[in-house]
């Protein structure tokens, strides 16, 4: 990926009940963050209203609907996501190679139809909410780490641009998939903040140092008394980590 500023790398999860609430939050963060993530809660409640409103207002959108279906259905959904003008959308890698290839083809077709750039297509490998015993119950042996890397490699082979992964998983994904594979990392918390229900958390600086291309941050920004100030504090921490990494590259 071309070098991006910390601000461009920050995705804010608009986990809200109504399109109105999402639009208001986005407005309070205008110019301070890179993208807004629209997920299944508000999409189920209001359909594409919020995503379309944000795109029409000049914001970039990560459509987080984690498509997982037969290839033909995923291709059609991907076409619509791209035609809508999403900048990123995701699919479950566990849907398999043909389904992921269909997602990329659908994205290309939808973008061409609408005359828009093709969105990045990223795969969800193993949900971070699943631990080894949960995977065992599903018949997936070898623990989360091995499965994450296997699915990331499959996603790359199928033509996906990257994966969603916790900070802890970035290093092994980078080793397996190289420097150009996009890694989108949720589970971000400021030092000394509440982790909420996230189990595998990292600070913005740690996630940037580990090699994340995008950070997804929800509650630490959306539930802050001053969301704009919270976003700025995270961008500042990301910038510090980038500056540290650049200095280290010059003076190893």
- In whole angstroms, how close is the CB of 82 to ligand C5P at the nearest point? 21
CB of 226 to ligand C5P, least distance (A): 17
DSSP 44-93: HHHTTHHHHHHHHTT-EEEEEEEE-S-HHHHHHHHHHHHHHT-SEEEEEG
Number of residue whose CB is nearest ligand C5P? 218
The pair phi, psi for residue 240, each rounded to 5°, is -60, -40
**Comparing C-alpha atoms, which of 232, 184, 219 is closest to residue 14?**
219
The residues with which 61 forms a beta bridge, in sequence order, are 36
Q: How far apart are CA 85 and CA 218, in angstroms?
A: 22
If we measure between CA atoms, which residue out of 57, 50, 60, 53 comes closest to residue 17?
A: 50
Site for ligand C5P, rule CB under 6 A: 13, 15, 39, 127-128, 164, 186-187, 196, 198, 216-220
Out of 66, 116, 153, 168, pick the active-site residue.
Answer: 66
State the minimum distance, in angstroms, from the CB of residue 198 to ligand C5P: 5
For the bound state, the minimum distance from the C-beta of residue 53 to ligand C5P, rounded and expressed in Å, comes to 18
Residue of 125, 144, 124 lying closest to 134 (CA atoms): 144
Q: Give least dist CB 10 to ligand C5P, A.
A: 12
Q: Return the number of the residue (107 or 184) whose C-beta is nearest ligand C5P.
A: 184
- Cβ proximity of 159 and 123 under 8 Å: no
| 41 vs 105 by CB, closer to ligand C5P | 41
Nearer to ligand C5P, 57 or 195 (CB): 195
Toward ligand C5P, which CB reaches closer, 57 or 196?
A: 196
Cα–Cα distance between 3 and 239 in angstroms, integer? 13
Residue 66 among the catalytic residues? yes
Angle at 199 between CA 162 and CA 129, to 5 degrees: 60
Give the residue with the Cβ less far from ligand C5P, 79 or 169. 169
SS3 of 251, please? coil
Catalytic amino acids?
66
């Amino acid at each position: 990926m071309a070098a991006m500023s910390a601000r461009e790398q920050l995705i804010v999860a608009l986990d809200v009940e109504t399109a109105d609430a999402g639009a208001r939050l986005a407005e309070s963060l205008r110019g301070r963050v890179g993208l807004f993530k629209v997920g299944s809660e508000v999409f189920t409640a209001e359909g594409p209203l919020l995503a379309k409103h944000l795109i029409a207002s000049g914001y970039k959108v990560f459509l987080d609907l984690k498509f997982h279906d037969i290839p033909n259905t995923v291709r059609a959904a991907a076409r619509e996501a791209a035609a809508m003008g999403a900048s990123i959308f995701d699919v479950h890698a566990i849907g398999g190679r043909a389904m992921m290839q269909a997602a990329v083809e659908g994205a290309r077709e939808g973008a061409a139809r609408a005359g828009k750039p093709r969105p990045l297509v990223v795969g969800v490998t193993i949900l971070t909410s699943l631990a080894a015993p949960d995977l065992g119950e599903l018949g997936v042996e070898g623990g989360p780490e091995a499965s994450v890397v296997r699915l990331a490699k499959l996603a790359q082979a199928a033509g996906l641009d990257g994966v969603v992964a916790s900070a802890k998983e970035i290093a092994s994904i980078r080793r397996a998939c190289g420097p150009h594979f996009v890694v989108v990392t949720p589970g971000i918390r400021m030092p000394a903040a509440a982790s909420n229900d996230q189990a595998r958390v990292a600070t913005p600086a740690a996630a940037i140092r580990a090699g994340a291309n995008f950070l997804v941050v929800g509650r630490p920004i959306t539930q802050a008394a001053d969301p704009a100030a919270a976003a700025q504090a995270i961008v500042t921490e990301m910038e510090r980590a980038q500056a540290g990494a650049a200095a280290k590259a010059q003076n190893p």
